[in-house]
């Protein structure tokens, strides 16, 4: 199977997710246009995290994950300004109340991707940024649901995480979405934070320094 980032580049376009409201599609398209140069950059490091995703969804005994817990996510400081994480949709989700088998679901062959940008607080437009913040992580998600060939949806709207000098999260993540006042779209966007956990878990396991010539890592 080819990498999701390569398939995305071959499409030369992004598909507007269903949570993006039609009256906001011009704003979404403008944002999409800003991301394309980063996504197409051949120096963008790709981190394939199928092993991490399997551990997170299928084999870990941990039921609840807390981004503020250093035992769960030791250090969220990205080693590069831009990082791309991708993984296959899990085949099952382990839970203490019973596992969920996804092998027969339409999206069983789907894939998820996350673009992580490391930004200085002074370079981010926004309010209520914690004064202790060393970095702001902007994270955009992309999904190939494995149902219709050649369709990859995203970006869905950027999640913002404030990080201190030790790589610990400050406050709670916020989402700059294009859901408008649609309550159902807002609910779906908020629930999607769980798909960020495998990339963030992988990020917390990465070495803080990566040789410049290294362009791909598998975890």
Average pLDDT over residues 179-184: 91
Task: Round to whole Å and give the CA distance between 147 and 99.
Answer: 23
pLDDT tens-digit profile of 104-143? 666 667 899 999 999 999 998 777 888 999 999 999 999 9
Domain regions of the chain by residue span: 4-122+131-218
Which whole number is the average pLDDT over 170-181? 88
Q: How large is the average pLDDT for residues 164-189?
A: 90
- Mean pLDDT across 27-46: 93
Say what percent of the chain tops pLDDT 70: 91
> Mean pLDDT throughout 153-170?
93
């Amino acid at each position: 199977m080819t990498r999701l980032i390569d398939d995305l580049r071959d499409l030369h376009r992004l598909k507007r997710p269903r949570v993006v409201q039609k009256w906001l599609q011009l704003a979404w398209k403008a944002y999409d246009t800003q991301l394309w140069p980063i996504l197409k950059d051949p120096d963008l490091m790709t981190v394939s995290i199928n092993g991490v995703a399997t551990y997170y969804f299928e084999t870990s005994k941990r039921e609840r994950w807390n981004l503020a817990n250093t035992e769960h996510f030791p250090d969220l400081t990205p080693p590069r300004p831009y990082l791309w994480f991708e993984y296959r949709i899990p085949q099952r989700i382990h839970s203490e109340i019973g596992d969920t088998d996804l092998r027969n679901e339409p999206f069983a062959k789907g894939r998820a991707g996350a673009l992580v940008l490391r930004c200085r607080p002074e370079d981010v437009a926004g309010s209520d940024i914690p004064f202790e913040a060393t970095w702001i992580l902007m994270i955009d998600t992309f999904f190939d649901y494995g149902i219709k060939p050649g369709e990859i949806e995203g970006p869905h709207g950027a999640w913002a995480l404030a990080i201190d000098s030790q790589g610990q999260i400050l406050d709670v993540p916020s989402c700059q979405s294009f859901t408008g006042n649609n309550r159902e779209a807002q609910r779906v966007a908020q629930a999607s934070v769980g798909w960020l956990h495998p990339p963030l878990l992988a990020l917390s396991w990465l070495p803080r320094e990566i040789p410049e010539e290294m362009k791909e890592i598998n975890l």
